């Protein structure tokens, strides 16, 4: 490690300076992404069906002509960061147009797994503002930066803002579809032989619906807050139950907890797992992150996502992403005897926990 700036190669020094500048400006990356999604740019490029030139894009956006240069600069940044790409276009390939990349295929609004609602929801002021008081929160005693800023816990805020609650539910639903469909295809043995399953904190039922469709003999239930699931119709093998998981969990062969425990600190997570232990006969199925142990983390996309989500859980919910050791302690303390972790594609894992 360098003892002073003078001893370091000048090239490394300016690289390091740029590294810091890029961290400082990372909010512009988030906000430019949000801007592109709100303007509908991914949908416009997708519908165009071939590389779209700047002029065509500006026309499709119906913005004042004076904004065309600003669109160019927005797209330049987002091409640089790999969200969009450019390709040659025109009869003689004389022009250049924008195309979607695999990343921006997650930003069109017409797929079951779109992240467009996630972009807009997570980057709304109520979620971003607490970031301004992180350091104040570290010095104080408020449970979360969100609560310090908004004066109430996140779930109360949702209950008081029905429009936002609806958008949050829709955001989670879209985000869950991809992982759940891949689980029923590639890990169906996890769900076979079960006769009943309750998805605790199951949101608007995306996961349970995918399971209920794939396993018609399986009786599925979704337990979530009454306001979130009010008026969602069930089916022959899917029932919505409005309730509070801290008060009671309906009995079933298995409980599914997808991205639910990470919303809670160890004390609450233990209460939930103890109630699950009483409710189930076979197992608890958890879909959540298992963070790598140790202080040094790999600098890959998946590790980064895990660590960003951990900060999000800490600042919004007083929750956490857990290492295997932390999961194990939670299971043993709640009275379970063993568990099996199956890493899923991406940054999540599937954990089966047995009594």
Catalytic residues: 262
Q: At its nearest, how many Å lie between ligand SAM and the CB of residue 253?
A: 18
- Footprint (CB under 6 A) of ligand SAM, residues 103-122: none
Q: At its nearest, how many Å lie between ligand SAM and the CB of residue 274?
A: 15
Q: Can you state the percent helix, strand and coil of the chain, rounding each to 5?
A: 55, 15, 30
Q: Which is nearer to ligand SAM, 155 or 164 (CB)?
A: 155
Distance separating alpha carbons of residues 107 and 117, to the nearest angstrom:
9
Q: Which is nearer to ligand SAM, 113 or 302 (CB)?
A: 113
Distance separating alpha carbons of residues 53 and 50, to the nearest angstrom:
9
Helix (H, G, I), strand (E, B) or coil at 346: coil
Q: Which is nearer to ligand SAM, 263 or 306 (CB)?
A: 263
Q: At its nearest, how many Å lie between ligand SAM and the CB of residue 223?
A: 6
Quote the tokens at residue 96. 């250049």
**In the chain, what is the straight-line distance between the N-terminal and C-terminal CA atoms, in Å?**
49
Contact 204, 232 (CB under 8 A): yes
Q: Which of 78, 197, 228, 276 binds ligand SAM (CB under 6 A)?
A: 228
Q: Which is nearer to ligand SAM, 27 or 246 (CB)?
A: 246
248 binds ligand SAM (CB under 6 A): no
Q: At its nearest, how many Å lie between ligand SAM and the CB of residue 217?
A: 23
Q: Which is nearer to ligand SAM, 72 or 246 (CB)?
A: 246
Q: At its nearest, how many Å lie between ligand SAM and the CB of residue 177?
A: 9
Distance separating alpha carbons of residues 37 and 216, to the nearest angstrom:
37
- Footprint (CB under 6 A) of ligand SAM, residues 198-227: 201-203, 206-207, 223-225
Question: In whole angstroms, how large is the CA radius of gyration of the chain?
Answer: 23
Nearest to 36 by CA among 70, 1, 6: 70
Q: Which of 160, 244, 281, 297 binds ligand SAM (CB under 6 A)?
A: 244
Question: Under the phi-then-psi rule, with left for phi > 0, alpha for psi from -120 to 50, and beta for the rest, what region is 153?
Answer: beta
260 binds ligand SAM (CB under 6 A): yes
Q: Which of 37, 107, 183, 245 binds ligand SAM (CB under 6 A)?
A: 245
């Amino acid at each position: 490690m360098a003892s002073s700036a003078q001893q370091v190669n000048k090239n490394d020094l300016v690289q390091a300076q740029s590294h810091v500048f890029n961290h400082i400006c990372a909010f512009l990356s988030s906000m430019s992404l949000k801007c592109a999604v709100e303007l509908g740019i991914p949908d416009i490029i997708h519908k165009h069906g071939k590389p779209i030139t700047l002029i065509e894009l500006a026309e499709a956006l119906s913005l004042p002509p004076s904004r065309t240069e600003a669109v160019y600069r927005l797209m330049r940044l987002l091409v640089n960061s790999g969200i969009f790409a450019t390709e040659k276009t025109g009869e003689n390939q004389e022009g250049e147009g924008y195309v979607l990349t695999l990343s921006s295929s997650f930003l069109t609004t017409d797929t079951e797994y779109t992240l467009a609602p996630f972009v807009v929801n997570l980057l709304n002021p109520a979620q971003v503002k607490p970031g301004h008081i992180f350091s104040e929160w570290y010095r104080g005693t408020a449970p979360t930066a969100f609560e310090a800023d908004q004066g109430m816990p996140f779930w109360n805020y949702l209950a008081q803002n029905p429009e936002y609650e609806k958008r949050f539910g829709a955001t989670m639903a879209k985000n869950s579809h991809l992982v759940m469909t891949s689980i029923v295809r590639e890990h169906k043995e996890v769900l076979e032989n079960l006769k009943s399953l309750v998805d605790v904190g199951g949101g608007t039922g995306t996961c349970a619906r995918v399971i209920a469709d794939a396993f018609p003999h399986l009786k599925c239930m979704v337990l979530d807050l009454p306001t979130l699931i009010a008026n969602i119709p069930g089916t022959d093998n899917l029932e919505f139950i409005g309730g509070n998981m801290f008060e009671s969990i309906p009995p079933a062969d298995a409980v599914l907890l997808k991205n639910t425990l990470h919303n809670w600190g160890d004390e609450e997570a233990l209460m939930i797992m103890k109630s699950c232990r009483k409710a189930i006969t076979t197992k608890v199925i958890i879909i959540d992150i298992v963070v790598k142990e140790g202080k040094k983390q790999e600098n890959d996309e998946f590790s980064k996502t895990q660590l960003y989500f951990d900060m999000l859980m800490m600042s919004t919910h007083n929750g956490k992403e857990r290492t295997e050791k932390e999961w194990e302690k939670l299971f043993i303390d709640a009275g379970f005897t063993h568990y099996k972790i199956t890493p899923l594609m991406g940054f999540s894992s599937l954990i089966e926990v047995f009594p």
